A and B are shown apart, each in its own frame.
Chain A
Amino acid sequence: MSKISKIFFGLILFLGLYIAFLPNRFSQASFIDFLRTDNTKEIDQNETFDLQAFSKIPVLRGGRVKPLDSVARNILLVLRNKRTALRVLDKWENEEKDLVDSLKKVGKELNEEQSKFLENFSKNKKTTIPQGGIQVPVTEVDAIDWLAQVLFAPEKADKLKTFLIDHDQVLGLVNQKLLDNGKFYSYEELKPFLSNIDSSARKAGEVETELRDSFQQNIIELYRSLLIYKKLKHSLSPPNTPDRPEVLEQLGVTDLVYSPEKDRARSDEYLRFRKLTAELSEDSSVVQLGSEEFARVVFFVDRYNQANLWTEFLPIPPIPGEGDGKWMKVTESLVGSEPLESREKQNMDPAQFALTLKELLALEKTDLKERIAYIRENQKQNPSALFATQYAEAIKVREGVDPVILQYEDLAFAYRDQNFSEFNRVVKEIYDLTTTRAGSSASTLSFEKSFNGFEPFYRSAIAYVFIFIIACTSWLTAGSKRVSEFVRMLRNSAYYITIIVFLCHTFGLAARMWIEGRPPVTNLYSSALFIGWASVLLCLATEKYIRLGIASAMGALIGFGSLVIAHSLSLDSSLNPTGDTMEMMRAVLDSNFWLATHVVVVTIGYSTTYLAGFIGIVYVFFHIGCTISRKPENKMKKTLDSMIYGITCFSLLFSLVGTILGGIWADQSWGRFWGWDAKENGALLIVIWNALLLHARFSGMAKTRGLACIAIFGNVVTSWSWFGTNMLGVGLHSYGFMDKAFDYLMMFIVSQLFIIGFAYLFPIHWNLLLKTKNNKPEKSLPDYDSLD
Chain B
Amino acid sequence: MNKQKGRSSLGQRRKDFKFLLPLASLRLTITLLSLSMILIFVATLEQVRIGIRGALAEYFESFYGIWYYPEKFWGGEILQDIPLPIPGGYLLGGLLIINLTAAYIVRFQWTFKKGGIQLIHLGIILLLIGQLTTQAIQEESRMQINKGEKSNYIERFHGVELAIRDVTNPAEEKVITVPQELLEKGGSYSEKAMPFTVNVLHFGVNCDFDFASAEKSRSPMAEIVNRGVGQTANLNITSKEEDFASDALNFGYVIFELLDNGKSLGKWMSISHPAGNQVWSQMSPKLSDMAFQSIRHKGKLWGVALRQQREYLPFSIELLDIENEYYQGTEIPFNFESDINLHLEGNQTRRALVYMNTPLRHGGKTFYQYQMNDSANYSVFQVISNPSWLVPYIACILVSIGMLWQFSFHLIRFLRKNSQTPTKA
Contact = CB atoms under 8 A, between A and B. Distances in A.
A590 B357 CA distance: 9
A218 interface: no
B33 A688 contact: yes
B36 A688 contact: yes
A730 B245 CA distance: 10
A85 interface: no
Contacts of A689: 37
B386 interface: yes
Given A588-B357, A671-B382, A673-B130, A678 B333 contact: no
A543 B389 CA distance: 44
Residue in A684, A696, A730 whose Cβ sees the most chain B Cβ within 10 Å: A730
Given A672-B134, A698-B26, A699-B26, A584 B52 contact: no
A627 to B, nearest CB: 27
Contact of A691 (B27, B33, B328, B386): B33
Given A669-B356, A671-B359, A675-B52, A688 B37 contact: yes
Contacts of B33: 688, 691-692, 695
Interface string A657-689: 100100111011111111111100110110011
A35 interface: no
9 contacts: A587-B335, A669-B357, A669-B359, A671-B384, A673-B392, A681-B40, A699-B26, A701-B30, A787-B26
A537 interface: no
Contact of A731 (B40, B47, B328): B47
Nearest to A669: B357
A676 B55 contact: yes
Given A584-B327, A594-B357, A730-B47, 8 more contacts: A380-B375, A585-B332, A588-B357, A590-B356, A678-B47, A681-B43, A695-B33, A701-B30
Given A667-B389, A685-B37, A698-B26, A728 B44 contact: yes
A699 B27 contact: yes
A719 interface: no
Nearest to A340: B375
Contacts of B51: 730
B30 A695 contact: yes
B134 A587 contact: no
Interface string A692-732: 10011011010000000000000001001000010011110
Interface in B13-36: 26-27, 29-30, 33-34, 36
A143 interface: no
Interface of A: 60-64, 313-314, 326-327, 340, 380-381, 583-588, 590-591, 594, 653, 656-657, 660, 663-665, 667-678, 681-682, 684-685, 688-689, 691-692, 695-696, 698-699, 701, 717, 720, 725, 728-731, 787-788
A66 to B, nearest CB: 12
Contacts of B328: 60, 63, 314, 326-327
A730 B332 CA distance: 19
Contact of B403 (A583, A653, A676): A653
Contact of A587 (B37, B60, B127, B356): B356
Given A584-B332, A587-B336, A676 B389 contact: no
Interface of B: 26-27, 29-30, 33-34, 36-37, 40-41, 43-45, 47-48, 51-52, 55-56, 60, 107-108, 114, 117, 127, 130-131, 134, 138, 140, 246, 326-330, 332-336, 356-359, 366, 368, 374-377, 382, 384, 386, 389, 392-393, 396, 399-400, 403, 407
Contacts of B334: 63, 584, 587, 590
Contacts of A583: 332
Contact of B30 (A63, A663, A692): A692
Contacts of A675: 52
Contacts of B47: 676, 678, 728, 730-731
A348 B259 CA distance: 49
Contacts of A62: 327, 329-330
Contacts of A64: 327
Contacts, number: 161
A717 B55 CA distance: 20
A699 B30 contact: yes
A676 B335 contact: no
Nearest to B325: A587
Given A61-B329, A730-B47, A676 B60 contact: yes
Contacts of A684: 40
A709 to B, nearest CB: 14
A701 B134 contact: no
Residue in B138, B329, B333 whose Cβ sees the most chain A Cβ within 10 Å: B329
B170 to A, nearest CB: 27
Nearest to B409: A785
B389 A673 contact: yes
B64 to A, nearest CB: 17
B384 A660 contact: no
A785 to B, nearest CB: 9
Given A673-B130, A698-B26, A699-B30, A657 B43 contact: no
Nearest to A653: B403
A717 B40 CA distance: 12
A63 B327 contact: yes
B397 to A, nearest CB: 10
Contacts of B407: 653
Contacts of B108: 787
Contacts of B326: 63
A584 B52 CA distance: 27
Contacts of A691: 33
Contact of B374 (A380, A657, A688): A380
B287 to A, nearest CB: 20
A680 to B, nearest CB: 9
B311 to A, nearest CB: 16
Given A584-B334, A673-B134, A685-B40, A60 B329 contact: yes
A673 B45 CA distance: 21
Given A656-B399, A731-B52, A584 B330 contact: yes
A710 to B, nearest CB: 10
9 nearest A-B residue pairs (beta carbon): A63-B327, A699-B26, A671-B384, A63-B330, A587-B333, A673-B392, A584-B327, A692-B33, A681-B44
Contacts of B55: 676
A731 B403 CA distance: 31
Contacts of A730: 47-48, 51-52, 246
Contacts of B131: 673-674
A699 B25 CA distance: 9
Given A657-B400, A695-B33, A730-B52, A63 B44 contact: no
Contacts of B41: 681, 685, 720
Contacts of B60: 676
A314 B329 contact: yes
B418 to A, nearest CB: 9
A62 to B, nearest CB: 6
A588 B330 CA distance: 16
Contacts of A594: 357
A765 B67 CA distance: 37
Contacts of A585: 332
Contacts of A664: 392-393, 396
Contacts of B127: 660
A594 B52 CA distance: 24
Nearest to A585: B332
Nearest to B368: A671
A63 B386 contact: no
A701 B368 contact: no
